[in-house]
Amino acid sequence: KGLSKFDPETGTFRNYDVEDGLQSNEFLSGAAYKSRTGELMFGGPNGFNIFDPKKIKDNLSIPPVVITDFQIFNHPVSIGGDSPLQQHISFTKQLTLSYQDSVFSFEFVTLNYISPQKNQYAYKMAGVDKEWVYVDSTRRFATYTNLDAGDYVFQVKGSNNDGIWNEEGTSLKITIIPPWWETTAFRVATLLLIVLIVFGGFRLRIRTIEGQKRQLEIQVVERTKDLEIAKDKAEVANQAKSTFLANMSHELRTPLNAILGFAQLMQRSRALPQEHQDNVKIINRSGEYLLSLINNVLDMSKIEAGKITLNTQNVDLHSLLDEVHDIFYLKAETKQLQLLVERGDKVPHYISTDATKLRQVLVNLLSNALKFTQEGGVSLYVNQISTQPQPSKGEEEAKEITLHFRVEDTGAGIAEEELDKVFEAFGQTATGRASQEGTGLGLPISRKFVQLMGGDITVQSELGKGTAFEFGIRALVVSAAEIVSQSVVRQVIALEANQPRYRILIVDDNRDNRLLLIKLLNPLDFELREADNGQEAIEIWENWQPHLIWMDIRMPVMDGVQATQHIKATASGQKTVIIALTASTFYEEESGVLSAGCDDFLRKPFRDNKIFELMHKHIGVRYVYEEETDTASKEETLDSLTPEALRALPRELLTQMQQAAIDLDTDLIQSLIDQVRLQNEPLANALAQLAHNFQYDYLLKLIEQAQT
């Protein structure tokens, strides 16, 4: 890094490099000589330097500092007329700006022409910046946005190439004029108008109340006679409410189920481009959410009528928890909240329970937690707390377990006097009413679902500290073989032979994000290292020279843009591939990330196939893929679905299934399929596949053929 001069009296160093006249920043070991006259000689790869150290003097000249440019919304400001500048900015001592000039910038320079690239700067807006902001010669500008109306002073100072500072610098007074609606005159006039309106309204209200009092006295006698009639009508209306809600919800569910069915069919098409698959997934998720809202109303009417039932099925519990996490990941990230989903070591992978109701309970609780939490985070903990052997229909015994779920947040909390009301239908706490969100049905429905699954739900809360909901359910442990896979994906399982062992550096201040990439890449035998800020990443890069860096953009200490610029400024850094990981709108634009020096960028949340794709694109990694599963088994299952097979079923069962298909009653259809499974399992599997794909028209056609 050049030559360094040490002063033993002051204990300080001064470094010289090629910009000070050295032949190179590198010198050969031992190539040093001191002459009799005191001159020093040093040899390097491009020649040698000879000089008398006594004659080397620092530049002690204090350089002037000048503001050279002023811009509003990144456009130069003209001089004269209605412009805030009446003379050049370098001669201006005071500026008056409108509140509409919400983004303005200054450019400044130190008038030192000896190695000007070594000049240093510091600026501060008195009233805004608490400390001086230090920058080098590549960032000779300062930008301020959305300042409140008032008086400010912009100050800037600078140093020459030898670090001699002009501490006095230069300054500019700035006055920002408030909008008319924030002026004192407007506020006084508004206050007077409000007083007049209130006084006039009060007098008018008094006269109205007196008139209403006289009218009410006349109506009391008449209303007393109507009370009995109104009571009878209220009872009839209350009985009709459940029927109306059920019918109305059904009419809404019918077209929505068709939309979801076709969306899921499109999602399963292998010919559909990835972009359209993503769009279909968004449609499907949005439709599922809308369907859950409609089902809330329908479920409430079923609960009131006592017709809600439990529909158990085998489910991958770990995947269900991951799915719930993915649903709320973006919402938590948008609100800058931590979302944690953890399961105990004893929690089984596969269980038999009503997965739909369990998912709805978790979605309701997590949605409420995120809605009323503004800082901190939301956590879901799952543990197994008991096991009890239960006799099964076969020779083996199925284990019945009790699973404990806890959803806690660091949100606004619930007052103690309102805790008993949170599970009442259409009831909301003061916090819920203030947010003006929700219907007040989620928690009552969740409690009923948990009770159906063999448990109950409780709540603990404290205002200002957060809320915790806990519930337990009973379920049976099943094996992986009893879980029907709904999708087959082509996955990377290894690296092709005869490749270098790639060095990959993962830089992210979020430990979970780093861990995700480590778990994804570690099984493929990549050589991995991690850093939690840009400064640490630079240190690892200098000593390790990775092939590729996954660089998060927003980090403490040093962000990803600064670290990338530092690395790419070197010759060896140009050979290192840097791919940005970003979810921030500040760095969202691709051009902005690439201009900082990144070779590519990837938005969070990311998919594993995109990670592998970018690594192949930039450093040539080649993979071995898992072979796709043959579809013959599905075709064999559907072959068993014939009118003859349906004709063998009891006529009453077939009639119920026909009506359920017409009504699109998915719960009843699943219950009837479970009855078919006791008689003909291949036929039940085929019917389940039709129901999963919402192919009710085809099912009705087969039933009609079986009945003829």
Q: Does 252 have pLDDT greater than 80?
A: no
Determine the pLDDT at residue 266. 63
Residues in CB range of 682: below 8 A, 6 or more apart: 637, 640
Mean pLDDT of 559-564: 91
Give φ, ψ of 293 to 5 degrees.
Answer: -65, -45
**Partner residues linked to 407 by β-bridges:** 380, 469
Decide: helix, strand or coil at residue 624: strand
Predicted confidence (pLDDT) per residue in 85-98, tens digit: 989 999 999 999 99
d(Cα 199, Cα 229) in Å, to the nearest integer? 42
Could you give the angle at which helices 274-305 and 184-268 cross, rounded to 10 degrees? 100
Q: Retrieve residue 606's tokens.
A: 């990311």
Band of residue 298 on the pLDDT scale cut at 50, 70, 90 = low
Contact by Cβ (8 Å): 157, 166: yes
Contact by Cβ (8 Å): 424, 403: no
**More confident call, 665 vs 585:** 665
Determine the pLDDT at residue 489. 46
Predicted confidence (pLDDT) per residue in 260-297, tens digit: 545 654 654 556 677 777 677 767 766 666 666 666 66
3-state SS string for 452-486: HCCCCEEEEEECCCEEEEEEEEEEEECCHHHCCCC
Decide: helix, strand or coil at residue 703: helix
Strand boundaries in 393-435, DSSP class E? 397-409
For the chain, give the mean pLDDT.
82
Predicted confidence (pLDDT) per residue in 394-411, tens digit: 444 568 899 999 999 999
**Partner residues linked to 457 by β-bridges:** 471
**More confident call, 642 vs 109:** 109
Residues in CB range of 379: below 8 A, 6 or more apart: 338, 339, 340, 341, 342, 406, 407, 408, 409
Predicted confidence (pLDDT) per residue in 178-200, tens digit: 888 888 888 899 999 999 999 98
d(Cα 238, Cα 241) in Å, to the nearest integer? 5
d(Cα 10, Cα 5) in Å, to the nearest integer? 12
